[in-house]
Amino acid sequence: MKRQLSVGAIALVLVLATLHLGGVRITLASEGDKSTVTSTFAVEGMTCGGCEAAIEIKLRKIDGVGSAEASHEKGSAVVRYDPTKVTPDQIVSEIEELGYKAKLVETQSRDRR
Ligand SMILES: [Cu+2]
């Protein structure tokens, strides 16, 4: 009788462990589906590749920013980020801290493309 109980207990632990692992997997999957958005900013004041690099390096350091591409010729910066972690306003103020003038032009969600 005692033995049967412990077998049952082990089975229960295995079932719980499986459910637990399943739960973890579901959590990881939904984190992977987290959507990012891409915003284009008009940036005034960039004159060379050094300006572009300064902006890109600063923006890429922000937690939640996936990529940042700046162009002094176009006067723009294109930033891909997680909108639950970063806001366009935050990106504008990071660019302006470097001495440039920035303004949000448009935001596109990735899955709509
Ligand atoms: Cu420059």
Predicted confidence (pLDDT) per residue in 16-46, tens digit: 454 454 444 443 434 444 689 999 999 999 9
Interatomic CA distance for residues 91 and 42, integer angstroms: 12
27 alpha carbon – ligand 1 mean position (Å): 44
State the burial class of residue 105 (Cβ atoms within 10 Å of its Cβ: 0-12, 13-18, 19+).
Answer: middle
Confidence bin at 2 (pLDDT 50/70/90):
low
Over residues 43-83, the pLDDT tens digits come to 999 999 999 999 999 999 999 999 999 999 999 999 999 99
Is residue 45 within 8 A of residue 55, CB to CB? The reply is no
What pLDDT does residue 30 have?
40
Ligand 1: centre distance to CA 74 (Å):
14
CA of 72 to the centre of ligand 1 (A): 8
Residue with tokens 């579901």: 26
Whole-number pLDDT of residue 1: 53
Correct CATH for 37-112 of 3.40.50.1370, 3.30.70.100, 3.90.1300.10, 3.90.180.10? 3.30.70.100
Residue 52 CA to ligand 1 centre (angstroms): 7
